[in-house]
């Protein structure tokens, strides 16, 4: 879901868009990560805590303090359950499944569970588009109007700008009526064309290329373009072009509320409509909001069709461990196209903050994405220099204080394990 970003991001942003959190399929650029203190150049390349020393019991040196710190943060953020995994050449794979998959039964969450991964789906969709670029069937700098008619500013918006979030197209998931439907009729089956129609009723945020605004509309449009060019459904394209080549046997694009087992129940504190204006709280206000919140809603069976190419993916920990290095290293793309993918643009005028490429974000060298969809929040990142992967999967999309819990847990990991700065 589109991320909450600082007001300094783009002058064209509305106050409600700035405050938007829940239905945004966040990227790694959410406020939880964006508000980190900017790093000095010396800290731009993280290092692994503990060097190459191997304790006798085989546990990495960070485990003793990181585990209780993760549990404490989960309790404060009211996270029912989380699967956290770190993979490095020094330590292999360290994984912790913490908390419960169901507040009703108290059953422990499992590292084998399936999760809705929200905007991590954008990395899959972008890969298909870039494969078509490699095949000469799409040109990155061609106008969108060449591939899909009726797009506002379509003769001036390029495929690159859709991928990069610089198109200026209105984000349909910021529309008030759309969010009322999500709250009142969560079983609604949405078509991609219906989602575009919502977006196109609104004026663009800015002229193409003149700003940066996270918009699910870009990726729904990209999914439709991929289908039109190939004459195949997007779920088939993702399966044949992304999941099978990488060995991701448990990953798919959901087109309705069906959910493979096993999976945890998914929870939500803040309604879709309320999240349009709910601020991200800090300090005592955040602590009070998290402490005083009642019981969350169980939103496991909400129909994710409204997210489609922008965020209806389902995956597992093991599959995301396979995907992270393939995404960052360009396993499925030519070297030239991977270089284009890793051409990052700033998302804010503040120095030292994450940047965004073609369906991928760069956070201090960790390349990946995060995702937020009703009931679930996720993060995946891979550092090519360290050959290190971080995956965080939780069954809560937003804490009562408005923060994204997987981003908060990831931030803690990057600070304690890889020495990135604390906020």
Per-residue pLDDT of 75-123, as tens digits, reads 999 999 999 999 999 999 999 999 999 999 999 999 999 999 999 999 9
User: Using CA atoms, how far apart are residues 154 and 146, in angstroms rounded to an integer?
Assistant: 8
Taking only the tens place, the pLDDT of each residue in 192-242 is 999 999 999 999 999 999 999 999 999 999 999 999 999 999 999 999 999
Per-residue confidence (pLDDT) for residue 38, from 0 to 100:
24
pLDDT band at 59 (very low <50, low <70, confident <90, very high): confident
In this predicted model, what pLDDT tens digit does every residue of 28-44 receive, in sequence order? 344 434 322 222 222 22
| pLDDT at position 420 | 82
At residue 101's C-alpha, the angle toward residues 98 and 102, to 5°, is: 130
pLDDT at 24: 39
**Is 58 a residue whose pLDDT tops 80?**
no
Q: Indicate the domain borders of the chain.
A: 15-416
What's the pLDDT tens digit per position in 42-57? Answer: 222 334 443 333 333 4
- List C-alpha distances in Å: 74 to 3, 70, 418: 21, 6, 20
Report whether pLDDT(243) > 70.
yes
> So what's the pLDDT on residue 49?
42
pTM for this predicted structure? 0.89
CA distance linking residue 405 with residue 39, whole number of Å: 22
Q: What is the mean pLDDT of the chain?
A: 88
Residue in 217, 267, 208 with CA at minimum distance from that of residue 2? 217
Whole-angstrom Cα distance, residue 331 to residue 325? Answer: 8
**Residue 351: pLDDT band by 50, 70, 90 thresholds?**
confident
pLDDT at 423 over 80: no
Q: Look at the alpha carbons of 170, 402, 298, 260 in this order and tell me if their dihedral is positive or negative.
A: positive
Averaged pLDDT for residues 247-273: 97
Pick the CATH number of 15-416 from 3.30.470.20, 3.40.710.10, 3.40.50.1220, 3.30.565.10: 3.40.710.10
Peptide bond into 183 cis (omega under 30): no
Q: Which two tokens stand for residue 273?
A: 């409509």
CA distances from 66 to 60, 87, 197 (A): 10, 15, 46
Say what the pLDDT of residue 422 is: 58
Quick one: pLDDT band at residue 350, thresholds 50, 70, 90? confident
* pLDDT (0 to 100) of residue 364: 87
């Amino acid at each position: 879901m589109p991320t909450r970003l600082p007001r300094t991001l783009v002058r064209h942003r509305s106050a409600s868009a700035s405050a938007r959190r829940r239905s945004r399929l966040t990227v790694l650029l959410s406020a939880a990560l964006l508000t980190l203190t900017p790093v000095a150049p010396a800290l731009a390349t993280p290092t692994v805590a503990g060097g190459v020393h191997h304790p006798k019991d085989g546990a990495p040196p960070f485990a003793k303090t990181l585990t209780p710190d993760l549990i404490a943060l989960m309790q404060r953020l009211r996270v029912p359950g989380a699967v956290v995994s770190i993979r490095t050449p020094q330590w292999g794979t360290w994984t912790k499944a913490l908390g419960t998959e169901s507040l009703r039964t108290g059953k422990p969450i499992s590292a084998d569970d399936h999760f809705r991964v929200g905007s991590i789906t954008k990395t899959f969709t972008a890969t298909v588009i870039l494969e078509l670029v490699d095949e000469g069937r799409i040109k990155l700098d061609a106008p969108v109007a060449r591939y899909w008619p009726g797009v506002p500013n379509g003769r001036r918006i390029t495929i690159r700008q859709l991928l990069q979030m610089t198109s200026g197209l209105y984000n349909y998931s910021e529309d008030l009526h759309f969010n009322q439907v999500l709250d009142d009729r969560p079983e609604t089956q949405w078509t991609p064309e219906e989602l575009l129609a919502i977006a196109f009723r609104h004026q663009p945020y800015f002229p193409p290329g003149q700003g940066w605004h996270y918009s699910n509309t870009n990726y729904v449009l990209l999914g439709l373009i991929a289908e039109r060019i190939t004459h195949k459904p997007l779920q088939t394209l993702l399966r044949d072009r992304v999941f099978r080549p990488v060995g991701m046997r448990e990953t798919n694009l959901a087109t309705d509320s069906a959910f493979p087992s096993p999976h945890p129940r998914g929870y939500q504190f803040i309604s879709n409509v309320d999240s349009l204006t709910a601020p991200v709280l800090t300090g005592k206000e955040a602590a009070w909001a998290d402490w005083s919140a009642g019981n969350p809603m169980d939103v496991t069976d909400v129909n994710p069709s409204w997210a489609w190419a922008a965020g209806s993916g389902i995956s597992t920990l093991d599959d995301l461990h396979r995907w992270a290095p393939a995404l960052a290293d360009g396993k499925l793309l030519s070297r030239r196209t991977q270089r284009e993918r890793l051409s990052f643009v700033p998302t804010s005028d503040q120095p030292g903050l994450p940047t965004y490429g073609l369906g991928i974000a760069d956070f201090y060298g960790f390349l990946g994405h995060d995702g937020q969809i009703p009931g679930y929040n996720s993060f995946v990142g891979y550092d090519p220099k360290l050959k290190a992967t971080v995956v965080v999967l939780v069954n809560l999309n937003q804490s009562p204080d408005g923060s994204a819990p997987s981003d908060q847990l990831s931030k803690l990991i990057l600070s304690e394990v890889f020495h990135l700065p604390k906020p």
